[in-house]
Amino acid sequence: KTNDTPKFVYRGILLDTSRNFYHVDSILRTLDAMSYNKLNVLHWHIVDAFSWPVESKVHSELTEKGAYSTDMLYSYEETKKIINYAKSRAIRVMPEFNMPGNTFIVSDAHPEIMSCLNKQPNWDKFGPEPSSGQLNIADLRGSFAFDIITEYSRLFVDLGFHMGGGSLNLDWWKEDPVIELYVCDHPGESIESLVKGWFNQTVGKIQEMGKVPFAREDSVLNFGYEAKNTTIVEAWVSEDSVGKVVDKGYRAIATSWNRHYLDCGHGSWLSNFEGSSWCGPYKGWQKIYSYNPRAKIIDPAKQKLVLGGEVALWSAQSDETTVDRNLWPRTAAFAEIMWTGSIDPNTNSTKDIGKVARRLTTTDSAWLHAGICQSRCSPCGASAIPSH
């Protein structure tokens, strides 16, 4: 009898389809590859500052003005096709609609609910990348966020709903005259209290829709916001973030940028930025494989709060033509460590990286036969070369 159960219940890929578009076939191919590796969550970062590529029946103007083109959007039918295809392979599809930051694309349809739009030339004071823009957290027409949560909670059947909450900079709102006036007219209010109030209302709406809220660590570690402990937190800022998140009693998903960000090390897409990307260097499979998100957590109860992890393919420099080689085989190494853990049960010590290398190398041909054009692990004859 074989006893084969995963060490971590959450084993995922974050795929960003806002910065560059991925046609449905490439997403289905990625789901196939995920199923071969026993990954069970596609965290679909579907919307960000750059485009709104998913159909909205409530706010049709979002895709009319926010999609790159009419053939670069996901209809309801295509979205359901992806969800059902994933389900047949035991994979969840969890949507992320990043709010309130990094929402510049909303301004194409609704500039009246936005703050600090496209600040130039010092855009880096207002956001991690151009163009700047975020929802006005003091605007009384804040039902927009509720509309988004309500509509897409019904379209996406998964219990998880990721509200984003990352890359916030309070300077964005401090220079907004509408927010400045609101704070002056409401004694006791501040930018910080408005941020907390916005998150409280958003989490409440997600739960009202019967969903489990997911959020980035920024929202619970940086701004004094104390989310309900039903919120699951994506820990990405450092390898220590997982410990900080579980210390507050939250369940955590490990997505450390210096281990799990697969877009890094290809240079910067910003023309005024010399050298490597902000998150360089390139993350080889060895670095990904050698990370245990529970390693620094001593308390067994807190270890259980670490549900798992995900690799992240942010797509400023990736699209459907490069997705296979950007994901694989590095994500296969990640998948193994999420399923088996980092300790070899036969030796009770850390797994031999050389044996892992041989396994990855010998599967190169199988991947190609399956239609996955992954990067090669090594030269063809390297499987016969002893590891050092």
**Do the Cβ atoms of 119 and 133 come closer than 8 Å?**
no
Q: What is the pTM of this model?
A: 0.94
**pLDDT tens string 239-285:** 999 999 999 999 999 999 999 999 998 888 877 667 677 888 999 99
Sequence-ordered list of residues with C-beta below 8 angstroms from that of 3, at least 6 positions apart, any chain: none
pLDDT of residue 1: 61
Residues 5-21 pLDDT 10s: 999 999 999 999 999 99
End-to-end CA distance of the chain: 35
pLDDT of residue 284: 92
What integer pLDDT is reported at residue 275 of this predicted model?
Answer: 67
The answer to whether the CB of 55 falls within 8 A of the CB of 352 is no
The rounded distance, in Å, linking the Cα atoms of 326 and 319 is 9
Which residues have a Cβ under 8 Å from the Cβ of 94 and sit 6 or more positions away?
Answer: 12, 41, 42, 43, 44, 156, 158, 160, 161, 162, 214
pLDDT at 166: 82
* 343 phi/psi in degrees, rounded to 5: -105, 130
User: Burial letters for 223-241: b for 16+ Cβ neighbours within 10 Å, e otherwise?
Assistant: bebebeeebbbbbbbebeb
Spans in the chain with pLDDT lower than 70 = 1-2, 126-127, 139-142, 224, 272-273, 275, 378, 380-388
pLDDT at position 384 is 47
In a 3-state reduction of DSSP, which class is residue 115? strand
Q: Residue 357 is encoded by which pair of tokens?
A: 């290398």
Provide the pLDDT for residue 272: 67
